[in-house]
Amino acid sequence: MTQDHHEEEPHGKTVRRWLYAGLGAVVLLAGGTAVVRTGAVPRALGLAQAPGATQEADARKTRVRETFEEDIARLGPDGVELASLSIPTDAKGYFAPPLESEMPDGEDGASIRRGRDIFLNPGANATDYVGNALACANCHLNAGRLANAAPMWAASGVYPKYRSKNDQINTMEDRITGCFTYSMNAQDGPTGGPPPQGDPIYKDVESYIHWLATGAPNRVDLPGAGYPALDEPAMAYDETRAKATFDENCSVCHGSDGQGRQDQNGRYAFPPLWGPHSYNGGAGMSRVSTAAGFIYANMPIGKPYSLTEQEAWDVAGYINAQDRPIDPRKVTDADAPVAPAGPPSASGTGTVVPAN
Ligand code: HEC
Ligand code: HEC
C-alpha cells in the first residue's frame, strides 16, 4: 500500500480481513467435509490411538493455542498479521478445544469450572431447574467437546442468532434456556421452570462454553457443529424392524425398556431414552431427524458410524414413538405430564416444532 492510498488503508484492511476469514472458512469447511465423506471419522474415532500419540497430539494442540494467544497479544502494525494466526485442530481436522489442564485460574477459571460441573451434572449443580435424569453431556458428548455431537465450541461464536423456530434473535442464554426447558424437562423440576434470566447458572455455563471455543474463529459455521443431517430414509418406518435393531444395538446399555441403568448410588451410568426421566416432547432430540443424526454419528457409544443410516432412522423413530414427558407448550391440563406416543415421522413428533 503506497502513501497515496493512505486514507484508504482502513477500508483495504477490512476487506483483506474478510477475504482471509472467508478463505479460512472455506478451507476449514472443505477439509471437514472431505473428512466426513471419506469415512475417515468412523475409522479414526481416536479409540485405537496409542497413549503416546495422544499425548503428543495434545501437546501440539496446546502449543498451537499458546502461540495463538501470544500472537493475538502482539497483534498490530508492528507485530503479528491477523492472517498468520493458526487454529488448533485435532487429527481429523476438527477444531480442538483446550484441555482441562489449560483452564485459567482466578475468578474466570472458577466460573468455567462451575459451568463445566453444571454441564456434566445439572441434576446436582443446577438442581432447581432439572426435571429429569439427564445431563447436558449426555447429548453434547465428551463434556461438549466432541465434533458431530453438537459441540459447544461450535456454538459459542454463532450466537446471538436468528432462529426461525421461535422467530427471534436468540442469545446464548436463550439457547441454554431452551435446553433446560425441553431437554432437561425443567417443568418437572423443583421450581417448575428453567433458570430465570440472568441467573448465575447461565453466566457459569456460558463461561465454560466460551472457554471451550478459545482460538476458534468467530461467526463461522465450523465443521463438526451440531449433529450430521442424514438423507431421508429409503424405507418407511416399521416398528418390528426398528425394535429388532434397538434390541440388538441399544438395549444392552439403555435397557430393553429404554429406562437406562443406574449404578449402586442411583446415578445413571446409561441415560434413559424415554419415560418420565428423559427429555420431553419439545426437545430437539424428540425430532426423529435430529435423533437419527445424533445416533448415526455417536451410538452405540464407542462405535460411532457403525449403524447404517437406515438403522439410525429406525431406532430414532422407535425411541421417539415411546411415551415421554409432554412438550410444556402443549400442556393445558397440569395433571397430564406424559404425552401420548405419536407415530414417528421424519420431520417431527407432532405439530409443534421442537424448540431445541
Ligand atoms: C436430550 C439431549 C440434550 C440434552 C440433555 C441437552 N441438550 Fe443441548 N441440544 C440438544 C439438541 C438436539 C440441540 C440441537 C442440535 C442441533 O440440531 O444442531 C442442542 C443444542 C444446544 C445448544 C446450541 C448448539 C448449537 O450448535 O447451536 C446449546 C448451547 C446447548 N444445547 C446447551 C445445552 C446445555 C447447557 C444443556 C444442559 C443444561 C443441554 N444443552 C442439554 C440436545 C440436548
Ligand atoms: C455401550 C453402551 C451404549 C450403547 C450400546 C448405546 N448407548 Fe446410547 N448412550 C450411552 C451413554 C453412556 C450415553 C451418554 C453419553 C455421555 O454422557 O457421555 C448415551 C446417550 C444416548 C442418548 C442421549 C441421551 C438420552 O438418554 O436421550 C441417546 C438418544 C442414545 N444414547 C441412544 C442410543 C441408541 C438409539 C442406541 C442404539 C443404536 C444406543 N444409544 C446405544 C451408551 C450406550
The ligand 1 atom at the shortest distance from the C-alpha of residue 126 is 38
Q: How many CA atoms lie within 13 A of 228 on its CB side?
A: 25
Percent of the chain with pLDDT over 90: 63
CATH superfamily of 239-339: Cytochrome c-like domain (1.10.760.10)
Which grid coordinates belong to 294? 445424533
Residues 6+ apart with CB under 8 A from 125: 114, 117, 118
**340 three-class SS:** coil
Q: What is the pLDDT of residues 47-84, one digit of tens each?
A: 455 778 888 888 888 888 888 888 888 888 888 887 77
270 Cβ inside 6 Å of ligand 2? yes
250 Cβ inside 6 Å of ligand 2? yes
288 Cβ inside 6 Å of ligand 2? no
Which CB contacts under 8 angstroms, 24+ apart, belong to 202-207? 202/172, 202/173, 202/176, 202/177, 203/111, 204/111, 204/112, 204/114, 204/115, 204/118, 205/115, 205/118, 205/119, 205/136, 205/176, 206/115, 206/172, 206/173, 206/176, 207/108, 207/111, 207/112, 207/114, 207/115
CATH class of 100-212: mainly alpha
Using most ligand atoms within 8 A of CB, pick from 112, 125, 136 the residue to mutate for ligand 1.
136
Q: What is the pLDDT of residues 271-321, one digit of tens each?
A: 999 999 999 999 999 999 999 999 999 999 999 999 999 999 999 999 999
The answer, yes or no, to whether residue 3 has pLDDT greater than 70, is no
139 Cβ inside 6 Å of ligand 2? yes
Q: What is the pLDDT of residues 85-114, one digit of tens each?
A: 788 999 999 999 999 999 999 999 999 999
Q: Find the ligand nearest to 129 CA.
A: 1
Distance 26 CA to ligand 2 centre (A): 33
Distance 139 CA to ligand 1 centre (A): 7
pLDDT at 172: 98
Q: Whose CA is nearest to atom 19 of ligand 1?
A: 356
The answer, yes or no, to whether residue 207 has pLDDT greater than 80, is yes
| Ranges of H-type helices in 74-105 | none
pTM assigned to the model: 0.83
Q: What is the pLDDT of residues 157-178, one digit of tens each?
A: 999 999 887 899 999 999 999 9
Every domain of the chain and the residues it spans: 100-212, 239-339
The answer, yes or no, to whether residue 1 has pLDDT greater than 70, is no
Distance 227 CA to ligand 1 centre (A): 10
Which has the closest alpha carbon to 134: 252, 276, 321? 276
The torsion angles phi and psi of 243, rounded to 5 degrees, stand at -65, -40
- Fold match between 100-212 and 239-339? yes
Q: Find the ligand nearest to 249 CA.
A: 2
Confidence of residue 355 (pLDDT cuts 50, 70, 90): low
Q: What is the pLDDT of residues 249-273, one digit of tens each?
A: 999 999 999 999 999 988 899 999 9
Largest CA distance in the chain: 76
